[in-house]
Amino acid sequence: MGDEIPSDLTLDSLWLKIKNIENVTLRAAYLMGPYVLYADVRSNDYHHDQRLFVSADQPQFESNIQPQQDFIAELSLHNLKKRYVWVVDVASQILFTRQASINFAITVGGSKESIHTDNATNPRLGVQSPRLKVDRLTTADLWNTALLSKSVSVKRKEHLIVLTHGLHSNVTSDLFYLKEQIERTQSHHDELLVVKGFTENVCKTEKGIKWLGTRLAEHIVHNLRNEETVKISFIGHSLGGLVQSFAIAYISYNYPTFFENVEPVHFITLASPMLGTVSDNAVYIQRLLAMGIVGRTGQDLSLQSYNGLKQPLLQTLSKSSALKRILRCFRSRTLYANACNDGIVPLYTSALLFLDYDDVLDKLGMDTEDIETDFFQRNFVSPITKAMNILVPQRFSQNGTKIPVASMFDSAYSVLIPPLPAKSYITDPNTRKNVVVHDKMYTEKDLPDEQSPSQSGVMNSSNVLLRTFNLAFGGQYKNLEEQIARNWHEGIDWRKVIINLKPDAHNNIITRRRFSNAYGWPIVDHLIENHFSNEGNNTRTWKLDPILKTEDFDWIVKPTVDSVFDVGPTGMICTFGEMLGNLKSSTFEGINENLATTSYDQEELFKYEERLDGNGGILP
């Protein structure tokens, strides 16, 4: 009978092991990687809105699997049902090179002892039991789920959603959680949601906003858009907010009919330095940025002019008719900004300066003294932490502690990882506090008049949230940043969502990794609910304003001349890292430890090995 329980059925747990099988010497090879893996395992029906009462149902994860370390998880079979499904995610944590890859092995066994067999040359790779089925999805598979589900015989209109990563980051792994949550709303849309990003800017983010934005724009026009594309949305994290802004201006000027045929729907930034990062940096860090320690990108963010530009790029971009005529046509323009615990992008620049700071401070529910202590600790006591955050934003958390003496060339990443969420936070939604402290529409009318008393109140505010803006450089850049902020607001409404996340807020805001950055779940939920959950069939018309003929567009059309010096020292880290990666491939090949084999007949159910590349992807 089909429903009869087999006589040999057992409810003993299965065991999963994920091992980083790179040579142990690579733990110190920071520039070549770092060779670290993130992994998690969860049931197929898991969602973070569920309350989990049974410990066996709780997800398990490890964010820092170093070479020759492993992650072991118990897969419980505590309920009697026909089918158990688990999802295992494995992501590369490589930062500095696209050439390196991480070898790893996954083993599933019927006992904990069986998975301890560790032999890289074991010929018994594959599924050893008819009761177990394994579906392996590569990065390409995961990022093409919408297209794979597309019916060949039925053409469907498409809503293209472009995700753009920040400095020293990538799309495929760092923004995967966001992509996945957007796609879960497909049933609310008439159009097919196609969530994409541009992967060729990875390890090149120091080359300047113009260089990055030009490449993104050409990719959108020539590779992402097709005859079914009727809508487009942009979501940018950190530097990605500025890169997508330049890309829009570039498309608007060079392909003027693009946005006449494709409706601009949502423009969203998450912790993006829309005014640069001048005032939040210590003086010497600002000088280093201006001199190009982070290449052309650092010069852009420090509001410097170069290559014959008459003004800083951000100043020109913020007032360009090529950009603003498109921005006005978006259905929504939303800025998500961290009130504190960011350490890379301060509130005033991610919120376009003009904001009800007193309300934000009140809603934070913290004593001013506490915030001031954190503020001075972050910006004055340990400015080197700030510098390292700019260089490697994924690795350094702002928890007020001193960073170790070991340099970034060592295995500092092993101790400098983001504070992990408490177990109760992951398993019980009721323990999560509301992190949105301010959510309001701002129009040009909300801005104080120039030279007015209220304007003076902003520019000389004693509010601790504006302290960096008002103290730095004796006001040298304040007027320029204010003007850029006014440019962004001219004729454009902005929804400003201010949030209070725990460290590391800059990466938590996008949930860079599903569980280690779980403090960002409410923000992704807010973004999804307010932008992608209730669209329906609401067609509309839009009309583009003409581009001003009197405007000088050399900043867009003038070719960018590539130079090795464009990337600065941090960009050279990527280049040097690739050189070391190539050396590693030839030097360490075949020297992984070979451990003794043990036979477990039917106990060892499944084993395979893979390589993850520097872009977070699985190599064939």
Q: Residue 370 — very low, low, confident or very high, per pLDDT cuts 50/70/90?
A: low
Range from 93-102, 132-141, 371-380, 537-546 carrying the lowest mean pLDDT: 371-380
Same domain, 130 and 168: no
Long-range CB pairs of 56-60, under 8 A, 24+ apart, other chains included: 58/423, 58/426, 58/427, 59/426, 59/515
Same domain, 401 and 447: yes
Residue 386's identity, in one-letter code, is K
Same domain, 327 and 277: yes
Digit-coded pLDDT (tens) for 116-173: 876 555 556 777 778 888 888 999 999 987 766 655 447 789 999 999 999 889 999 9
Any domain includes 606: yes
Q: Residue 384 — very low, low, confident or very high, per pLDDT cuts 50/70/90?
A: very low
Same domain, 504 and 596: no
User: Which is more confidently placed, 127 or 24?
Assistant: 24
Mark which of 507, 534, 561 sits at the end of a domain.
Answer: 534
Any domain includes 610: yes
Over 70: is that where the pLDDT of 391 sits?
no
Question: Are 232 and 219 a contacting pair, CB within 8 Å?
Answer: no
pLDDT score, position 53: 82
Same domain, 259 and 378: yes
Same domain, 82 and 174: no
**Backbone angles phi and psi of 204, in degrees to 5:** -135, 20
The percent of residues above 70 in pLDDT, for the chain, comes to 70
Same domain, 78 and 21: yes
Q: Measured between alpha carbons, how far is 606 from 367 in angstroms, rounded to an integer?
A: 55
Q: Which two tokens stand for residue 607?
A: 């084993």
Phi-psi region of 459 (alpha: psi -120 to 50; beta: other; left: phi over 0): alpha
Same domain, 40 and 120: yes
Q: Name the catalytic one among 92, 238, 245, 318.
A: 238
DSSP state of 451: T
User: Which is more confidently placed, 39 or 598?
Assistant: 39
pLDDT, average across residues 103-121: 80
pLDDT score, position 615: 59
Same domain, 297 and 214: yes
pLDDT, average across residues 519-534: 96
Same domain, 233 and 260: yes
Any domain includes 96: yes
Any domain includes 446: yes
pLDDT, average across residues 196-212: 93
- Compute the mean pLDDT over every residue in the chain, rounded to the nearest whole number: 80
pLDDT, average across residues 3-9: 63
Q: Measured between alpha carbons, how far is 422 from 86 in angstroms, rounded to an integer?
A: 22
Any domain includes 145: no
Q: Residue 212 — very low, low, confident or very high, per pLDDT cuts 50/70/90?
A: very high
Q: Choose the most confident range, by mean pLDDT, from 416-420, 460-464, 467-471, 555-559.
A: 555-559
Tally Cβ neighbours within 10 Å of residue 610.
Answer: 18
Same domain, 111 and 208: no
pLDDT, average across residues 410-431: 70
Which domain does 303 fall in, by range? Answer: 158-534
Is 13 one of the annotated active-site residues of the chain? no
Any domain includes 392: yes
Over 60: is that where the pLDDT of 562 sits?
yes
- 3-class SS at 3? coil
Any domain includes 545: no
Q: Measured between alpha carbons, how far is 300 from 342 in angstroms, rounded to an integer?
A: 20
Same domain, 126 and 242: no
Any domain includes 526: yes
Q: Domains in the chain: how many in total?
A: 2
DSSP state of 82: S
